[in-house]
Amino acid sequence: MADKDKKSSVGPITFARQVQAEGRKVTWTSTPETIQATIMVIVMSVIIALFLFVSDQAIAAVIRLLTGLGS
């Protein structure tokens, strides 16, 4: 109960000012950096997707070979 008494309530105006002040402290990336990071994410996603596809096909082929199913 004592914890509730110690908490200070912040009004919406004060909250908005605090959010704005914190937003000014953020170091935003430049447009070229954002584009480069986006391209890297896309490339890595494609590489991982291809790896998982090839791995899945190889494991399926081995299972078909061992079980004799799909012959």
The pLDDT value recorded for residue 30 is: 95
Please give the radius of gyration of the chain, using alpha carbons only, rounded to the nearest integer.
27
- Distance of alpha carbon 6 from alpha carbon 10, whole angstroms: 13
H or E element that contains 26: none
- Distance of alpha carbon 29 from alpha carbon 37, whole angstroms: 10
Instruction: Quote the percentage of the chain above a pLDDT of 90.
Output: 72
Q: Please write the tens of the pLDDT for every residue from 19-48.
A: 999 999 999 899 999 999 999 999 999 999
Place 2 in a pLDDT band, splitting at 50, 70 and 90. Answer: low
- pTM, entire model: 0.61
